[in-house]
Structure 1
């Protein structure tokens, strides 16, 4: 549990966890995030180690990108397979951390092999976090990164027709928000949105009928309220929250890029993720939806679980398909399906 002992509901939830994931709960005990705990959360080591063999296959370069108007520059890390010739597809990656924590470098252990295996570039963005920077700072930083990526596609050896956005948790929510913002501004076209247990709806904090089995592990209802309050600068669930902060608030989802959405059955975001997928489908947006039984928030990071391995494989396969569905725009490549 977060701060109290186990109760009847937690006993029910624990019995639903995939047994191979149970050691993860022992190694990463659940806490309820508060302002006092924020420095420790921000300074915790990455969950995914970097393998020397992956460094030998993939290069990484620091980039400083022009920030939004009147805001600081944006830092990012660009990964590229060392043996690949461009133009390559590219993932604009947005890290998680409940809107209040996280760094692009935290996922280097995952980005190095992913870029090499998929023969793609990955631009991972260090957006400004809350509560120091409220909405819309984070999503505007991500939009600035997208604009830079499209402007620099040629010099960086990137295929602009195969640029998609990806994120986990709060990063997944920002990825969905960026897809909405890009659609509405009409300047840049995303090929796909790849959302891993995305944090989409501030109203989950105030629902009168919370799911009885979700949100016990890793990311709790209390942590969710803290993250949304930090981003919005006030209590979540009220009127007037922008869809670029909480994508589930968007009234019109038509015209968005194809979506991949994955979540765990015990994740606090289960119902908001399923509902967003349903609404995308009703708006005519192609959606691939995965719900993994026995999985809680961030379960896919655990190496010894078959369900986690399936989730990582499904995600990687979907990215490969997303890249393959958009032909190289050069004339010699034939028809451009973008």
Structure 2
């Protein structure tokens, strides 16, 4: 008889969403599904859909990525943007293997509209065709481009915030570590939404959510293997690819971090927040009870989603207001 695995239950409202999604999304993503997932996400993610009727202009820029190869970034600005304001650099999710710079761009567009920040979203190259270090190095190249072109973009280079979700949260964390270690662009703060930080597959939460939910343990192994190949789980993985491996987090900017209690990334995200505190970094952590991975995008009208998005925007507003007062 197979023992029942103890795990935090899903929020009842979110559990209904999961049941409705069973026929639409695979529980476990395998390598052979990558082409179909890319096609599906490309069709559902565009600048027009993300911006909607907000008074925002979108511009595509071609920049030099890792090794000088060309990559694209999207720049979002309010149409009435005139003076230099804070900039938010956004890194999309997709398990390192799918998604594009328009994925979840609606959240960034909302910040651009409300706070008159300038948003930049990067089209980093995806694994397995472009394994580590391509994604994080492309992301770092985009951040350095944004800082170098702050004047023409209408950005205050001392008020750049790096944000990312899921795999993008992990890449964002790695990008900020690179900026610290290379004495690169100054980063005011980082926002890491249920970030993918640890390739080692040793936490309790990764084993609790295997064969269940959204982006389960098997999916996570698929993503990390695509990124790292045979190096996954070995001592040959850098802290920039898997930031959970970083032993020294001092010197990092103020951080916002969230996750659900009912997802694979819970324990590595909580551990990262604890490591930040141990290094003397100010960090705010939210673990949303009963939340599955990416529940905010899958269940945008759920009560728990409202609470999550309110917490994010409250943190961002406080950071922006504080730095405006200090200017």
- TM-score w.r.t. the length of structure 2 is 0.91
Query: How big is the alpha-carbon RMSD for the aligned residues of Structure 1 and Structure 2?
Result: 2.3
Asked if 1:19 is matched to 2:16, the reply is no
| Aligned twin of 1:314 | 311
CA distance in 1 between partners of 2:161 and 2:205 (Å): 32
| Aligned twin of 2:291 | 295
| Aligned twin of 1:217 | 213
Determine if contact 1:54/1:113 at 8 Å carries over to the other structure.
no
Determine if contact 2:51/2:109 at 8 Å carries over to the other structure.
no
CA distance in 2 between partners of 1:211 and 1:40 (Å): 25
Q: Could you tell me how far 1:64 is from its partner in structure 2? A: 0.8
| Aligned twin of 2:262 | 266
Determine if contact 2:159/2:188 at 8 Å carries over to the other structure.
yes
Determine if contact 1:30/1:217 at 8 Å carries over to the other structure.
no
Asked if 1:32 is matched to 2:25, the reply is no
In structure 2, list runs of 5 or more residues that go unmatched: none
| Aligned twin of 1:59 | 57
- TM-score w.r.t. the length of structure 1 is 0.88
CA distance in 1 between partners of 2:4 and 2:141 (Å): 44
| Aligned twin of 1:163 | 160
CA distance in 2 between partners of 1:66 and 1:304 (Å): 39
Q: Could you tell me how far 1:210 is from its partner in structure 2? A: 5.2
Asked if 1:189 is matched to 2:189, the reply is no
Match of residue 43, structure 1, among 31, 34, 39:
39
| Aligned twin of 1:147 | 144
| Aligned twin of 2:248 | 252
Determine if contact 2:50/2:104 at 8 Å carries over to the other structure.
no
Larger mean Cα displacement after TM superposition, 85-94 or 50-59: 50-59
Change (3 A) 1:47 1:297: farther
| Aligned twin of 1:240 | 236
In structure 1, list runs of 5 or more residues that go unmatched: 1-6, 328-333
Alignment of 1:171-210 (within 5 A): 171-203=168-200, 205=201, 207=202
* SS across alignment from 2:259: strand
CA deviations over 1:203-236 (Å, ceiling 9, x no partner): 1x2x275566445311111111111111112252
CA distance in 2 between partners of 1:60 and 1:293 (Å): 36
Asked if 1:124 is matched to 2:125, the reply is no
| Aligned twin of 2:94 | 97
Change (3 A) 1:248 1:18: same
Q: Could you tell me how far 1:275 is from its partner in structure 2? A: 0.5
Q: Could you tell me how far 1:254 is from its partner in structure 2? A: 0.3
Determine if contact 1:76/1:126 at 8 Å carries over to the other structure.
yes
Determine if contact 2:178/2:184 at 8 Å carries over to the other structure.
no
CA distance in 1 between partners of 2:208 and 2:310 (Å): 26
Q: Could you tell me how far 1:253 is from its partner in structure 2? A: 0.4
| Aligned twin of 1:3 | none
CA distance in 2 between partners of 1:50 and 1:318 (Å): 27
Q: How many residues of Structure 1 are paired with residues of Structure 2 in the alignment?
A: 319
CA deviations over 1:159-209 (Å, ceiling 9, x no partner): 111101000000000011011100000021100010000000111x2x275
